[in-house]
Amino acid sequence: MDALWLPVLWQGDRLDDALNAMKRTNCLGALVEREDDRYEIIKMWSVEQALRNRQNTLADVGDGEPVYLTSLEDASDGIDLVRPLRTGAAYEDLLNRVNCQFALVAQAYDMGLVVTRHETGRRGYSPSSTFYCSGGARTHYFPTPNVRGGQICPKCLGQPKGQIYQR
Ligand SMILES: [Zn+2]
């Protein structure tokens, strides 16, 4: 299990606008909202391919990965809706049960928080590494890496302070 933020686009969006949204957010994929309230994840590569084939909108892009829409009922199975990285195993169970690779946990404006079924699920969509520190009571993450690997953790309170790792 892992988590990543992706830009949220509409199926009627133009392909060049979609490419710009991915570049602006430094993502190699996007969430596409379909007309029937379904979401899919598409790769930047597929959008570039569709552009080369003179397609116009995201509705013309094939091979999207279906995304499970997380609901409040799922929270009773022990998943943390607010801090998904704390309940990785429960999310993996959920995604195994609904047989999806991705779940949408949150969306606001033009970004969505997606949980992946597998540890490697971020690869291919998010080029930035994950920075984390396992010092202190809980592992803490640095989604916007204003830290470097090997650095003393700025989030650890008291002593001893942890160290930043990168994966
Ligand atoms: Zn720390």
φ and ψ at residue 112, rounded to 5 degrees: -130, 145
Kindly list the structural domains of the chain, giving each domain's residue range(s) and its CATH number in brackets, ordered by start.
Answer: 2-116 (3.10.580), 129-167 (no CATH)
156 C-alpha to center of ligand 1: Å? 4
DSSP E strands in 25-91: the ranges are: 29-33, 39-43, 65-69
Q: Where are the alpha helices (DSSP H) in 31-77?
A: 44-52
Sign (positive or negative) of CA dihedral 145, 147, 152, 158:
negative
166 C-alpha to center of ligand 1: Å? 13
70 C-alpha to center of ligand 1: Å? 29
75-121 pLDDT tens trace: 888 999 999 988 999 999 999 999 999 999 999 989 999 999 988 77
Nearest to 28 by CA among 13, 43, 47: 43
**Three-state SS at 17:** helix
Instruction: Give percent above pLDDT 70 in the chain.
Output: 96
